[in-house]
Amino acid sequence: MVDTLSNMFRLLPIRSLVIPFLKLVWRLFIDKRVSPFTKIIPLLAIAYIALPYDVIADRIPLLGQFDDLIVTTILFLVFIAASPNHVIADQTIGRKLRDLQKQQGFDPDQFDPSQFDPSQFGQRPGQRPGESPNQPNGNTVDAEFKYVDDEELEEADEDSSKK
């Protein structure tokens, strides 16, 4: 029983990679922004698994199934690479961003650009409209800085050692 559990836990990292990968392939497959020509690639991958014609015959134990896995993975990767980058970003990061925005009370589907005030964008909480974001608010230090390269630093060390 303990051996079975330890084997299951060893496969968790693989599962955490495979399931999101397959979900991404599926979401790209059903997305209307991906061209129908590109959607042929995952169909070819599934056909390769289903059809009896393989690079290495399935009659050979493990090796036959392993070549199915490799060819299918490569075809899925080609499908992801052939999909438009903005669609991939929207299906991965964009989905999480929309969920986060909805949790914060902002519904991106109901966003009206005519009501967007760019002067409010990037303001600190409590900052008044028109106030410069660089104005000191009690948490800012007004200071000057000087860039010192290595040569000036060496000269300063030599001057201080002479004294």
pLDDT score, position 36: 94
DSSP state letters, 1-44? -HHHHHHHHHTHHHHHHHHHHHHHHHHHHH-TTS-TTTTHHHHH
Task: Going residue by residue through the chain, which has 163 residues, state the pLDDT in tens, using 9 for 90 and above.
Answer: 555 656 656 666 777 788 889 999 999 999 999 999 999 999 999 988 888 777 666 667 777 778 888 889 999 999 999 999 888 888 888 777 777 777 777 665 566 666 666 555 555 555 555 555 555 555 666 677 776 677 776 777 777 666 6
Q: Where are the domains of the chain?
A: 2-120
Q: What is the pTM of this model?
A: 0.53
Measure the CA–CA gap between 2 and 9, rounded to whole angstroms: 11
What percent of the chain is helix, strand and coil (3-state, nearest 5)? Answer: 60, 0, 40
Alpha helix ranges (H) inside the chain? 2-10, 12-30, 40-50, 63-82, 85-89, 95-103, 150-162
Residue type, 16: S
